[in-house]
Amino acid sequence: MKLLKGLLVASLVTSLSLFTGCSDDDDNNDPAQTQFDLLSAYTDAHLADWTASGWIKDASDVYNNLAARYVIDMRSAADYGTGHIEGAVNATPSTLLSVAGNAGGKTIAVVCYTGQTASWATMALRMSGYADAYAMKYGMSAWNQTYAGSWDGGCSDTYVADFVTTAPPALPTYDAPALSGSQTSGADILADRVQAVLQGGFLTKTAANVFADLSGYNVINYWSEADYTTFGHIPGALQVSPGTLFADQNLSVLDPAGQNVLYCWTGQTSGFMSFYLNVMGYETYSLKFGANSMIHGNLGGHAWGTGGIADYNYPVVTN
């Protein structure tokens, strides 16, 4: 009997030591997750939905479905007052979410001068639960020809001779940004970050800014590789294909300690994605008017003024 008790005690001690050892190993292999870890796990699970087709639509969609749309106008109060889409509500970045809360179940359509700020704001809305919110493509410039000057003035061929058609360079890998905060869930961190980016406003750079200091920015071309080499690109620009800026894919090409400049065809897609990138902790600027501000005449169907996009003359009201 004594022998049996001794064996049982020895077995229990061995089991406890093994359990404790495994517990210590698990603790050492499971370091506390950072705010970025929690946020990126959450955004990676939702980014495909936020960026799904339908985040930007023609002015005709707003006009033909106006009764079912809640239009948010991001232009200045003065310009809104001189003419806006019937029923539109004026908002600023800091009031966007509170204004959106009055949508009453209608689909939100965001409007600005050119579609760029509206695209930026649309990502904020989609990240905040307005899954079907969208930007009106080309803004008021495409609603009525009276407002087309905003886009007409943004187009240029100034940098045609400066574009190069070299193959894309190898993509760098940077460390993740350090985010401050006390939230412990990805959803709560996201909500705080969305508010912070809205308060900071839409960050943009012009082509002149970039070409004046090509080595001072981490420039990212947001096209396919084929378009990058066919249409040409800003010298030294990285090439990142649309749909690959997940944390587990190409997000690490963003410099957490520098100024990142993202560009596309028109500044609308880059505006949309720049909101997300700033939420993730990267100081990211959208290049105003995109390639249209640099090589407008070479862009074919990607150019402002083609395909009837400026032919609408929909009505505006002043009340």
Give percent of the chain with pLDDT exceeding 90: 87
Record the tokens describing residue 71, joined without a space.
């239009």
Parent domain of 140:
48-152
User: Which conformational region is residue 279 in: left (phi greater than 0), alpha (psi within -120 to 50 degrees), or beta?
Assistant: alpha
pLDDT band at 257; cut points 50, 70, 90: very high
Looking at 135, 152, 169, the residue that finishes a domain is 152
Q: Tell me how far apart the alpha carbons of residues 75 and 90 are, in angstroms, rounded to a whole number.
A: 7
Tens-digit pLDDT profile for residues 85-114 = 999 999 999 999 999 999 999 999 999 999
For 236, the 3-state DSSP assignment is coil
Give the total number of structural domains in the chain.
Answer: 2
- DSSP symbol at 30: S
Q: Tell me how far apart the alpha carbons of residues 239 and 225 are, in angstroms, rounded to a whole number.
A: 7
Same domain, residue pair 188 and 107: no
> Is 25 a domain residue?
no
Q: Tell me how far apart the alpha carbons of residues 50 and 40 are, in angstroms, rounded to a whole number.
A: 14
> Quick count: other Cβ atoms within 10 Å of Cβ 134?
23
Buried residues in 49-85 as b, exposed as e (16+ CB within 10 A): ebbeeebbbebebbbeeeeebbbbbbbeeebbeebbb
Task: Please say if the pLDDT value at position 15 is more than 90.
Answer: no
Q: Tell me how far apart the alpha carbons of residues 65 and 77 are, in angstroms, rounded to a whole number.
A: 24
Task: Please say if the pLDDT value at position 275 is more than 90.
Answer: yes
Looking at 152, 185, 219, the residue that finishes a domain is 152
Same domain, residue pair 148 and 164: no
> Is 165 a domain residue?
yes
pLDDT band at 131; cut points 50, 70, 90: very high
> Is 19 a domain residue?
no
Measuring CA to CA, which residue among 118, 154, 163, 160 is closest to residue 139? 118
Task: Please say if the pLDDT value at position 122 is more than 90.
Answer: yes
> Is 14 a domain residue?
no
Same domain, residue pair 122 and 166: no
Q: What is the CATH number of the domain that holds 169?
A: 3.40.250.10
Task: Please say if the pLDDT value at position 19 is more than 60.
Answer: no
Same domain, residue pair 203 and 248: yes
Same domain, residue pair 141 and 182: no
Looking at 122, 152, 182, the residue that finishes a domain is 152
> Is 3 a domain residue?
no
More confident residue, 265 or 29: 265
> Is 75 a domain residue?
yes
Same domain, residue pair 262 and 278: yes
Same domain, residue pair 223 and 115: no
Tens-digit pLDDT profile for residues 214-254 = 999 999 999 999 999 999 999 999 999 999 999 999 999 99
